[in-house]
């Protein structure tokens, strides 16, 4: 395993990368961004989940915990490989270059990948390579491709609304459908092969330039997912319906809490087979990423369980999770676990004990730190280097948006703490504060590095709409001057140390 020392980097989801099409991809713009990181002497690129999303593009609302998002597959790369004749028909730009158009991305991606599959079927070029991929990923790929083909057959309805023989996975009905829809199932396997080839090539490109990828594991999976459909016994369901919904109690982001709607795990059942599903999930993540951020880590100590009939998360209760048993099993299986624990929100002593027992670095968010001098998020209160500091995350406003929205009195206090003078950038002052802290990792949203305002916010928790997950950069936004500034801070605060193998 790889250990990083005083590293720094950027949060930027690939969907937000610039380019000629309606969404960022794993193509040339992604490599240009890696080169930009290298110019800035950065060693971390943190991303959000790469799994397939629903219509809203939310990376945390996925149809699979194992599969990759087809929308991120690059058309130019397929053209270079001869799988399509011309990439330009599949790169229709979005009306707004700073907004992802998920509807267009879905439609163009579908047309692109059907065309590539048609060529593949005719030539069977690299068929042996794909066959090996199918074998190596058989523990999830077969179920996923079958589920994806069934979704096409029945539209976008949740699996629980399918005819009962498919809802209950009756063998005879599934076997008949698999025979009738063999080409569609193979197409979805082919798409996943393309995704993993392109992502693997991009990851190698980054690693060769000294940049490690920080991936993301959401603790929960979506109810409308192959994971729940294929493993219903692993979840708290009754007659295929959720009995409890996941969420969080009222907090900084929402006075009524957040009701996510994910089903809760049947931890007792998962423990019976040695947490095999979790081992496979982490194995997949460790293959795709160098470090894994565990979203909502506190759920491994206890989950906020909301009765399925409730409309808000207010009346939920904490339900214990076997976090220690799970991570003991994972550590026995993998050895070192290169993870970052997202330990934000309502954090009780059992969460702290779990994280510290396994030595996982937690997260410090500077925007949360300025209500009192003793606030644990302020760097002068850090008691360990084993943490990751952020100006904000994908769920925060940008630093400039946050700074402009707070009371004048609070701004004056922040200015005092940061030593800000007239004309100084609050965003870069917080970046400097993070880089100069004792935290092992310092990771900044790209929006903060570029000094963007609230128009560039990536997500507002507890809300839905086109303002979430759609923000996108242009090539003109990603300036070399910003990379040079990061390079100076990385040198000044000793964050250029090379990885030790």
473 by DSSP, 3-state: which? coil
| Structure tokens that stand for 432 in this block | 């400097």
Q: How far apart are CA 469 and CA 16, in angstroms?
A: 8
Q: How far apart are CA 192 and CA 232, in angstroms?
A: 23
**Number of helical (H) and strand (E) elements in the chain, helices listed first:** 18, 14
Residues labelled catalytic: 295, 342, 395
159 by DSSP, 3-state: which? helix
Positive or negative, the CA dihedral 251, 256, 261, 266 is: positive
Calculate Rg over the CA atoms of the chain. Answer: 23
Q: How far apart are CA 71 and CA 90, in angstroms?
A: 11
| Structure tokens that stand for 380 in this block | 């002068």
Positive or negative, the CA dihedral 207, 98, 260, 106 is: negative
| 133: enclosing H helix or E strand | helix 127-136
Sheet holding 244-248, edge to edge: 258-263, 244-248, 302-307, 317-320
215 by DSSP, 3-state: which? strand
Q: Looking up tokens 């940008």, which residue turns up?
A: 398
Q: How far apart are CA 382 and CA 386, in angstroms?
A: 9
Among 108, 115, 51, which residue's Cα sits nearest to residue 81? 115
Q: Answer for the pair 372, 326: CB distance below 8 angstroms, yes or no.
A: no
| Structure tokens that stand for 98 in this block | 């700073």
Describe the crossing of helices 138-154 and 276-288 by its angle, rounded to 10 degrees: 90
**CA distances from residue 459 to 46, 72, 132, 198 in whole angstroms, order as listed:** 16, 19, 38, 27
């Amino acid at each position: 395993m790889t250990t990083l020392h005083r590293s720094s980097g950027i949060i930027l989801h690939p969907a937000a990368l610039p380019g000629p099409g309606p969404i960022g991809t794993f193509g040339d713009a992604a490599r240009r961004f890696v080169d930009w990181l290298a110019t800035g002497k950065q060693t971390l690129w943190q991303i959000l989940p790469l799994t397939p999303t629903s219509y809203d593009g939310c990376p945390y609302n996925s149809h699979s915990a194992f599969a990759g998002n087809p929308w991120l597959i690059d058309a130019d790369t397929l053209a270079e490989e001869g799988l399509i004749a011309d990439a330009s028909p599949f790169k229709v730009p979005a009306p707004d270059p700073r907004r992802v158009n998920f509807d267009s991305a879905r439609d163009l991606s579908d047309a692109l990948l059907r065309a590539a599959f048609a060529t593949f079927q005719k030539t069977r070029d690299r068929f042996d390579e794909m066959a090996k991929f199918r074998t190596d990923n058989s523990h999830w790929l077969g179920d996923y491709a079958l589920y994806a083909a069934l979704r096409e057959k029945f539209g976008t309805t949740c699996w629980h609304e399918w005819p009962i023989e498919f809802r209950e996975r009756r063998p005879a009905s599934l076997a008949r459908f698999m025979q009738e829809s063999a080409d569609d199932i193979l197409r979805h396997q082919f798409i996943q092969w393309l995704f993993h080839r392109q992502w693997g090539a991009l990851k190698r490109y980054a690693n060769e330039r000294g940049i490690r990828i920080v991936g993301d594991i959401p603790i929960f999976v979506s109810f409308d997912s192959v994971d729940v459909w294929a493993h219903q016994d692993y979840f708290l369901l009754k007659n295929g319906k959720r009995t409890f919904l996941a969420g969080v109690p009222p907090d900084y982001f929402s006075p009524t809490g957040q009701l996510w709607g994910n089903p809760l795990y049947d931890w007792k059942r998962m423990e019976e087979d040695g947490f095999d599903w979790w081992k496979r999930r982490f194995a997949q993540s460790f293959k795709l990423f160098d470090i894994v951020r565990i979203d909502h880590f506190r759920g491994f100590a206890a989950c906020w369980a909301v009765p399925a009939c409730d409309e808000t998360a207010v009346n939920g209760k904490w339900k214990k999770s076997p976090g220690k048993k799970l991570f003991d099993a994972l550590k026995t299986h993998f050895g070192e676990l290169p993870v970052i624990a997202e330990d934000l929100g309502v954090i009780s002593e059992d969460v702290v004990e779990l994280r510290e027992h396994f030595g996982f670095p937690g997260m410090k968010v500077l925007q949360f730190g300025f209500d009192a001098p003793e606030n644990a998020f302020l760097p002068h209160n850090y008691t360990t280097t084993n943490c990751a500091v952020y100006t904000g995350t994908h769920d925060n406003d940008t630093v400039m948006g946050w700074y402009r929205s707070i009371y004048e009195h609070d701004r004056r206090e922040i200015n005092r703490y940061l030593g800000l003078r007239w004309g100084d950038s609050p965003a870069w002052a917080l970046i400097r504060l993070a880089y100069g802290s004792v935290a092992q990792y310092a990771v900044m949203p790209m929006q903060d590095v570029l000094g963007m305002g609230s128009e560039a916010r990536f997500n507002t928790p507890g809300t839905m709409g086109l303002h979430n997950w759609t923000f996108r950069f242009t090539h003109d936004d990603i300036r070399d001057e910003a990379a040079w500034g990061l390079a100076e801070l990385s040198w000044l605060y000793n964050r250029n140390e090379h990885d030790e193998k």
